[in-house]
Structure 1
């Protein structure tokens, strides 16, 4: 995958903002430590870590290698200096399910539980599992993405709290399944400040 390495080398950042990107790379999304692109015309996703976070490519690559291309996670292909290559998964996040009114079902929640339990059996401590790190694929499968923090040692309550909110509020008949983005962001801010009774 020499061509991938060349493309990654052409990406330039200003902090966490990509300022030079080859036209072959189509932006998918970005988070706290990396940006993800799709290589146009392929089913390949490339995760490029920001300056100062390049070592996380090795950490996350090792997690994916141990997950061994299990069905709950994207297939993993290669780790390089500051980047990873993996399967591009067509679908929408659970966050976008809420925004677009796509119902999140008990079965979907159960699949996330199964994915995290599988990771725990391998000795990982699944962390940072939130609405934007869970995908509903076009084949109605569920995949967990962004596993870089699965090696953290502290107890991360994100998924546990999301499940509690799902069971306590979302499943009620009168709660709308399509929720405005601004309201979701407001709830997230309250949660981060620990101002919600969860």
Structure 2
């Protein structure tokens, strides 16, 4: 039986150059991003623990404030706890849009419309949805859409990521003979070209 607190487990989680180096036995790594890693915790299957890299620890309270403004909306995971450099969130069973493309699971117009609804709700709460990409939109096992990684929803500048994704979706992906399954190496190439503004979108 685990007797350590989440705070103690987080303190035992060490990173080197934004890579996980040491993880307590009670944590299982399930994802990594630019500013944090996400773990499941032994004995707590309903929760995920997001641990920020040391240089981004201050983002924990910033993202918690965003989740609190989005609380009880069906398109966002619920915030359970916030601590120094970490968040405890509702665990989501499902796949990101990125994983759907790799697995060949079709992304439907209804799914795109639900993302629009999610971002519209965030705007209604005075937020500015930003950094919306394939890896932070999830399709849950019960076919619901969840938007994760909302830490940048408070930035001032307009972010074109979602509008560009939608344009590519309706211009290319919706074509009858356009592939619906992609190798990760191909997706990473497209992402790299997009970031360098080398794609005709």
TM category (shorter chain) comes to over 0.9
Do the aligned partners of residues 2 and 67 (structure 1) sit closer, same or farther apart at CA in structure 2, a change above 3 Å counting? Answer: farther
Rounded to whole Å, the distance in 2 between the matches of 1:2 and 1:162 is 42
Shift of 1:15: 2.4
1:11 is aligned to 13
Gaps of 5+ in 1: none
1:22 aligns with 2:44: no
Rounded to whole Å, the distance in 2 between the matches of 1:49 and 1:182 is 27
1:45 aligns with 2:48: yes
1:62 is aligned to 65
CA contact (8 A) 1:15 1:51 kept: no
Shift of 1:40: 2.5
Q: TM-score, normalised by structure 2?
A: 0.96
CA contact (8 A) 1:100 1:178 kept: yes
Between 174-183 and 156-165, report the one with greater CA deviation.
Answer: 174-183
1:135 aligns with 2:138: yes
- Secondary structure of 2:80's partner? strand
Rounded to whole Å, the distance in 1 between the matches of 2:34 and 2:176 is 35
Would you say how many aligned residue pairs link Structure 1 and Structure 2? 198
Q: TM-score, normalised by structure 1?
A: 0.97
1:85 aligns with 2:88: yes
Pairing of 1:1-198 with structure 2 (within 5 A):
3-41=5-43, 42-198=45-201
Rounded to whole Å, the distance in 2 between the matches of 1:187 and 1:15 is 25
Rounded to whole Å, the distance in 1 between the matches of 2:79 and 2:146 is 13
Rounded to whole Å, the distance in 2 between the matches of 1:154 and 1:133 is 19
Q: Which runs of 4+ in 1 moved over 3 A?
A: none
